A and B are shown apart, each in its own frame.
Chain A
Amino acid sequence: QKEVEQDPGPLSVPEGAIVSLNCTYSNSAFQYFMWYRQYSRKGPELLMYTYSSGNKEDGRFTAQVDKSSKYISLFIRDSQPSDSATYLCAMTPIPTDSWGKLQFGAGTQVVVTP
């Protein structure tokens, strides 16, 4: 069983809708949670990161972490066609021997239609 599970989609939404993405994980040691965005034929780029539980907002993007349920979410408000990409969640424990060792989800493909 994978440590990080993510629905691959595709998730198709009309422009202006809210996009809701999520990942579940099994390793309770994970403390840092990230969302990367990957456009077609490009490398992933960091979108947001959060530490431990709680919410974080950045413009149209909101990341939520629920450690009790081992569940993280990313919401995109007022979605635009330029948000069409694959979104990957990633997570890692507090750095010790696992410094820099991220575990990624499989990625969810999002398509925002005009």
Chain B
Amino acid sequence: EAQVTQNPRYLITVTGKKLTVTCSQNMNHEYMSWYRQDPGLGLRQIYYSMNVEVTDKGDVPEGYKVSRKEKRNFPLILESPSPNQTSLYFCASSLGPRDYEQYFGPGTRLTVT
């Protein structure tokens, strides 16, 4: 089954404790992206990657890191999480240029206390 998977689905952590949210897709997509979704603000792009080793900042990159060492994986790293990073996070992928259908993962609900 073609899908985007994220782990963990739910995470409660404390301020300053480094964490990684994994994202994997099995569709051989070039493009991958991370979003956060907050009430009233909708989906905002954090980082995106156009291919292996090619990443760029989205609209809200502060406090986040990403890497793309393999085509299928695109982990999101929070080096020192803060309470304002409490949010619902989505990973998405799409085939390539001019393909605007993004396939979203099921989401990771992160709470930072």
Chain A interface (Cβ < 8 Å from any Cβ of B): 4, 6, 8, 32, 34, 41-46, 49, 88, 90, 92, 95, 99-102, 104-107
* Chain A: CB-nearest residue to B33: A100
CA distance A95 to B96 in the complex (A): 11
Main DSSP-derived SS at the B contact region: strand
6 closest Cβ contacts across the A-B interface? A43-B104, A106-B42, A104-B43, A104-B42, A46-B101, A100-B31
Whether A95 contacts B40 in the complex (CB less than 8 A), given A43-B106, A43-B107, comes out as: no
* Chain B: CB-nearest residue to A106: B42
CA distance A3 to B92 in the complex (A): 21
Count of residues in B whose CB is under 8 Å from the partner chain: 27
Q: Does B66 contact A (CB under 8 A)?
A: no
Main DSSP-derived SS at the A contact region: loop
Which residues in B have their C-beta under 8 angstroms from that of A41?
Answer: 106-107
Which residues in B have their C-beta under 8 angstroms from that of A90?
Answer: 43
Which residues in A have their C-beta under 8 angstroms from that of B90?
Answer: 43-44
A52: shortest Cβ distance to chain B, in Å? 13
Q: Does B74 contact A (CB under 8 A)?
A: no
